[in-house]
Structure 1
Amino acid sequence: MKYLLLAAPLALSLASGAALGQTAPAAAGHAPYRLLNTITIGGEGGWDYLNVDPAGKRLYLSHGTQVDVVDLATRKVIGTIANTPGVHGIDVVPSANRGYITCGRNNTCVVFDLTTFKTIGEPIPTGPKPDALLYDAFSKRVFLFSNAGGKTTVLNGTTGAVEGTAELEGDIEAPATDGKGHIFANVENKSEVIEFDAKTLAVRLRHKLAPGEEPTGLGFDPKNNRLFSACHNEKLIVTDSKTGKQIAVLPIGAGVDGAVFDPSTQNIVTSNGSGTFTVIHQDSPTKYTVVANMPTARGARTIALDPVSHHIFTCTADYGPAPAATTENPHPRPSIVPGTFRVLEYGK
């Protein structure tokens, strides 16, 4: 995912007519979620993925050059994993008491102890620009996805040993697993969603996402074999994971980076950096309705779902002015106000 800072207000593309199950959004006043808690984290730096560990009742936050750990019982920061330059993704293997972190700045993976938050061994070299990662309990492997060419490093989840490389041929974004040996991922630069084998690492299927472009967030409904690819041109593409058939195209907010599916509510929620969640209801496996575009906060573009509480988490900070443009950086991003980094927790 990108460290994306957005200044533009929400803009939804509302195509006229019926197209592949697309339904116009309801007003924001009908929002099905409300803000439950604001958890102040503080510190400095940008952010990317956040991840809920339901077994440990913790929330892990990528934050600059470290990972912050929040106890979901107290909503307090209880630890930090330091020295994770260019941190992007975090996932945990509770049975091994280990966590894994991708560091995009130096092309490594940091392994840490879930009890002490101390690092285990030396950082593991990865493919270029490691970004998203996923622990797949079926294969007992951790997949470290490259966002520059798709050279994905595969680790033994228990020991951290490198077990292979998946050549996925593209810039890989958010993954998902069906728990039966099939891994899915968006290919951002090719506007595809792919499936590969968790054990052989062979790519099995590639599905085009047009009219969706630059997919990032990916939700998955394993019961109905539905993939939900959130695309940067403000579209959510629903795909049958088994056949590749496109089921629906729906409008979402600007600046999307994350998407989740909650089977208890049958809601797909996309997190849009322009300051909204788009909430889409799965009326049936072939029919989807945009329920609301509800306000969150500018910059809140990543998302995590707690499968136990069904609460949704996102994070953001306040922005200051952008630095002066230079030849090397002609379009500088707005600055982040120190001490304002925070988590927003939503629920019913």
Structure 2
Amino acid sequence: MKKKILMLAVLAVSCLLVNAQKKTGMHLLATHAIGSNGGWDYLTVDQKNNNLFVSHGNQVNVLNKNTGDSVGVIHNTQGVHGIAIANALGKGYTTNGKTATCTVFDLRNLTVITQINVGQNPDATFSDDYSQKVFVFNGKSHDATVIDPQTDRVVATIPLGGKPEAGVSDGKGKIYVNIEDTNEIVCLDSKSFVVLSRYKLIGGEEPTGLAIDRVTSRLFTVCSNKVMLVLDAKTGKHIAKLPIGDGSDGVVFDATSKLAYSSNGEGTITVVREVSADKFVVEETIKSEPGARTIALDTVTHHFFLPTATFEKSTTEGQKRPKMIPGTFRVLQYGK
């Protein structure tokens, strides 16, 4: 009996050691202070020029992604949300929520090239490497604006039937976008600009961040009811439902490590491992800071970045979020 108990104890310790080895080793490497005031939303990495673009109130702050040094500022982007990078043409695009426009700028010297009128309250955006088009998702007009970066003209407006959030491309001609108020993912054709299918999210409410594994055709969507859903991008079939922290507004997938990171506004990062195309597990919960709800991945260094600030402890009646303390805005950098 004693020998059996000893063997069980040894087995339990071995299991603990195995679990301990599964920790990612990702931790806070640096904090990059940005002195100006204002809220924030998305941030985007420009791999080619080694820059990190951070939406911040009515401007975009640009940092060197490797050092955290300030590179410059793109001004007059009123109510900016997202930044798209079109490296093939050396251009960037900001979505300016308050003016229903996109600011086009030069990626090398950050000078403004032009302004483009888009839909109402443009929010998330990205540049599709397959179609070579920039997709802008408009929150209030419930549609997507498609921009040709060759001419900087709008070539299509796609009705989406609901409030869009983040979008991704499969690199083969299909675009996927979360629809927050209808709890679904819409699939678009990136060449014909038509809706191909709608995937209803079962058990997921108010989806925000979206990521994709192009190799296995898996979509990762994070929802306000503290779950991450994994879907088959080709069919919409639900593969997994995983618990995450509260207040997630972003998720990224590292194709090298096969890890998905959910940035949770409560002050945590949920790490999900893709064991196989049909098996996903929560591997770790990393401590971040309250308010750090969006995330950007550097696919070269495998570091990721989250913006946040320090807030007052209490809120006034009717105020959804606590008030930000001026001068505390910063970007958190995580890595090994």
Instruction: Map 1:151-230 to 2 at 5 A.
Output: 151-230=143-222
Aligned counterparts of 1:228 and 1:323: Cα–Cα separation in 2: 33
Aligned counterparts of 1:332 and 1:239: Cα–Cα separation in 2: 31
Q: Which residue of 2 aligns with 1:333?
A: 321
Task: Say which SS state the counterpart of residue 181 (structure 2) adopts.
Answer: helix
Task: Give, as a single letter, the amino acid of the residue that structure 2 aligns with 1:129.
Answer: N
Q: Which residue of 2 aligns with 1:3?
A: none
Residues 84-122 of structure 1: per-residue CA shift (max 9 Å, x gap)? 11100001112222110001112111111112212112x
Task: Give, as a single letter, the amino acid of the residue that structure 1 aligns with 2:328.
Answer: T
Higher-RCO chain (CA-CA 8 Å, sequence separation at least 6):
1
Residues 7-55 of structure 1: per-residue CA shift (max 9 Å, x gap)? xxxxxxxxxxxxxxxxxxx89x946311111111121011100001111
Aligned partner (choices 56, 76, 81) of residue 74 of structure 2: 81
Is the 2:182–2:206 Cα contact (8 Å) retained in structure 1? yes
Bigger radius of gyration among the two: 2
Aligned partner (choices 225, 229, 246) of residue 237 of structure 1: 229
Which structure 1 segments of 5+ residues have no match? 1-25
Task: Say which SS state the counterpart of residue 190 (structure 1) adopts.
Answer: coil
Aligned counterparts of 1:274 and 1:82: Cα–Cα separation in 2: 30
Aligned partner (choices 297, 312, 317) of residue 304 of structure 2: 312
Task: Give, as a single letter, the amino acid of the residue that structure 1 aligns with 2:124.
Answer: A
Residues 101-148 of structure 1: per-residue CA shift (max 9 Å, x gap)? 001112111111112212112x21111111000101211110110112
Instruction: Verify: 1:114 aligned to 2:102, yes or no.
Output: no
Instruction: Verify: 1:345 aligned to 2:333, yes or no.
Output: yes
Task: Say which SS state the counterpart of residue 310 (structure 2) adopts.
Answer: coil
Q: Which residue of 2 aligns with 1:23?
A: none
Give 1 or 2: higher helix fraction. 2
Between stretches 96-105 and 332-341, larger displacement belongs to 332-341
Give the CA deviation at 1:317.
Answer: 0.7
Is the 1:149–1:168 Cα contact (8 Å) retained in structure 2? no
Identity %: 45
Task: Give, as a single letter, the amino acid of the residue that structure 2 aligns with 1:309.
Answer: T
Q: Which residue of 2 aligns with 1:102?
A: 95
* Superposition RMSD in Å: 1.6
Task: Say which SS state the counterpart of residue 217 (structure 1) adopts.
Answer: strand
Normalising by the residue count of structure 1, what TM-score does the alignment of the two structures yield?
0.88
Aligned counterparts of 1:88 and 1:72: Cα–Cα separation in 2: 19
Aligned partner (choices 70, 78, 83) of residue 63 of structure 2: 70
Is the 2:45–2:65 Cα contact (8 Å) retained in structure 1? no
Q: Which residue of 1 aligns with 2:278?
A: 286
Give the CA deviation at 1:62.
Answer: 0.2
Task: Give, as a single letter, the amino acid of the residue that structure 1 aligns with 2:304.
Answer: I
Aligned counterparts of 1:221 and 1:31: Cα–Cα separation in 2: 19
Q: Which residue of 2 aligns with 1:274?
A: 266
Instruction: Verify: 1:36 aligned to 2:24, yes or no.
Output: no
Task: Say which SS state the counterpart of residue 61 (structure 1) adopts.
Answer: strand
- The total of aligned residue pairs comes to 317
